[in-house]
Chain A
């Protein structure tokens, strides 16, 4: 405090803003994290059965893939608005929209993971007397984990970014701080909330990378080359943003 106040001067960087509004920032971050986490978890829970349905043949695959791709085409602001009559101004509205978006990425990756399970492994498990349920839980899903977790990483990062649009119904985590700050031209608040958003996405991505390594240690041998290719997005229609 050298006689100059960055809040009064409306500077881009303002540590005093961060300290004086730490409570508000923490609350928004917590909301952001739980909306993202709940959305991705529900998305995952929905996409596994959808992927199982889709692999039963073209008759199911075409509508499942077609519908999830179609959902991705709809701009997020329109998606949230279309859900308004059903959910009102609630976090459920934002979560539902985010779940629908996450399906595009997750269903494709779960399907890719399941398709990558070698047929002779399935044969061997069946020969050992594994029923369809046990085969899925103990053989197929564990082997599908690398692709599945790669999908979870992509879905999480894009969900963190998309959550901000939820501020249109007042449930946008850090987006809730950005919206009013634009109207009042409050630079420090816009920048701090934006930076926190990107940091959140990076931290989530790194944490999931750690989870991925812990859960699938067998993929590490060929990781150097794999990582380069698996990070290239399966040409999914771009972020629905």
Chain B
């Protein structure tokens, strides 16, 4: 602190000198200060990254997980008369245990001939609302904004920018009619 052997002329105001000295004792040298700033920011960054990876992964999980598809039985050949259209219900490919009924999906299945089936997504290509098959009119109609489709799924009227999406259907050797599950069809800004 205030050294007694300093010449009197070099020791101005003892009190101020003491405070200065105290401040100087606590002041960091420039390189040391720079290092400590970098250390604290850098270490915080590493810590944030270490926590951020699992957190971001949880947020982005739906994009990181594989999206399986699977064949689901929706009936047998005898359930569907040629020319008839049915609403079939099936379970999505990989439901979690706590899904309840929300992992169900539906499709409009029509038997075109002995061996040929067509299955349409129930989701309107406009905003995804559930379209209804009107048997007598021979049209699919959407309750939300009045989108209408012909029986081949092409747009007949209203706002849908594209036709109804189709599911793949196969008839197994034991006459089971099977449907390949698929994502909810999402209409993009550039219709495909």
Do A and B belong to a common assembly?
A: no
Interface residues of B (CB under 8 A from A): none
